[in-house]
Amino acid sequence: MSQKKLSVLLISNNDELLKEAEQELVSSDFRVIKAQSSHEAKLKFSNESFSLIMIDTELSEFKASEFVQRVRSREVEKNLKNVTPIIIMGHNPEEFTSDFSRVDHTKFIQHPFELEVLREKLKSFGFPGPTNRDVISHHSKKIKKGEFLINEGAQSLEMYWILAGSFVVTKLNETDERVVIGEVYAGELVGEMSFLDNLPRSASVKALEDSEVLVIPHKKFINVMENQPRWFRSLMQTLSQRLRNANKKIAGKYAQVEGQDYEV
């Protein structure tokens, strides 16, 4: 059974900080959940538990000290043994000392943001470091907001690991309306069906924001699959076909027409 990804709540509305931190966290095998407002941060925290929380104190109308207290209070209420590590990002170290120095498992990173400092903080909390950094730097691809990463019906076979950003997945239904069947975010894979079964793309994937992906060539996967039992290859193809069938049903019955809630 595969190990569940570590998740991080990244609270900031600084685009540059978000992009750099997100890419570093994904390369360290985190699943990144972004919150760009006080309301969004509280909502996402109330709906999910996180392995790490990163807070930008420059976020307007967001009281970082109160949020940290809320995190610690929930841990006490639920009698949790593991305390959630928290990284505070800001311009003023003295403010951190005043507000957070007595809070356990809380560390400070000063703006401007430096990736090496983040790596040191993650390591001090016991988190694993970046994986396959050389591969990522040589095979990454940047996608602008509104651009298509994958086009439905295309014959391409690559799979993509999202390093930063987010995408909407759409598909033509029986009446030729393009409908939304899902979204994918940093730390997730996309394009896996054609990668597995060699069939044309079953859906289109469009960037909701400026994004970056790691391109995983199909040839490398084939080399791995050749060393697997025949039943394993059959299993992969069966799972892929079931996903295709499920997407068709979703597009026909439950999905919303693209453009109703999306602007890209």
Query: 207 falls in which pLDDT band (50, 70, 90)?
Result: very high
Least confident of 5-9, 22-26, 199-203, 239-243: 239-243
| pLDDT tens digits for range 46-68 | 999 999 999 999 998 899 999 99
Q: How far apart are CA 37 and CA 22, in angstroms?
A: 17
**Structural domain count of the chain:** 2
| pLDDT tens digits for range 74-122 | 999 988 888 999 999 998 888 888 888 788 899 999 988 777 888 889 9
**160 in the same domain as 104:** no
Nearest to 105 by CA among 91, 118, 124: 124
Asked whether the predicted pLDDT for residue 250 surpasses 50, the reply is yes
- Give the mean model confidence (pLDDT) for residues 30-40: 93
**149 in the same domain as 253:** yes
| DSSP string over 174-217 | TTS-EEEEEEEETT-EE-HHHHHH-PPPSSEEEESSSEEEEEE-
Percent of the chain with pLDDT over 90: 36
Q: CB of 125 within 8 A of CB of 52?
A: yes
**14 in the same domain as 51:** yes
Q: CB of 247 within 8 A of CB of 181?
A: yes
Asked whether the predicted pLDDT for residue 184 surpasses 80, the reply is yes
Q: Is residue 262 part of a domain?
A: no
- What is the per-residue pLDDT for 137? 45
Least confident of 69-83, 136-150, 231-245: 231-245
**118 in the same domain as 12:** yes
Average pLDDT, the chain: 83
- What is the per-residue pLDDT for 134? 44
| Amino acid letter, residue 130 | P
**205 in the same domain as 98:** no
The whole model's pTM is what? Answer: 0.55
**139 in the same domain as 111:** no
Q: Is residue 119 part of a domain?
A: yes
Last residue of a domain, one of 99, 124, 149: 124
Q: How far apart are CA 118 and CA 213, in angstroms?
A: 21
Going from the C-alpha of 80 to that of each of 6, 75, 83, 170, the distances in angstroms are 17, 5, 7, 40
- What is the per-residue pLDDT for 218? 76
**175 in the same domain as 86:** no
Range of the domain at 175: 135-257
- What is the per-residue pLDDT for 223? 65
| pLDDT tens digits for range 238-248 | 776 777 677 66
**140 in the same domain as 184:** yes
Query: 156 falls in which pLDDT band (50, 70, 90)?
Result: confident
- Give the mean model confidence (pLDDT) for residues 246-257: 59
- What is the per-residue pLDDT for 135? 44
Q: Is residue 161 part of a domain?
A: yes
DSSP summary character for residue 158: -
Last residue of a domain, one of 90, 124, 158: 124
Between these two residues, 243 and 70, which has the higher pLDDT value? 70
**113 in the same domain as 26:** yes
Residue 163 sits in a domain of what CATH number?
A: 2.60.120.10
- Give the mean model confidence (pLDDT) for residues 194-206: 86
177, burial (CB in 10 Å: exposed 0-12, middle 13-18, buried 19+): middle
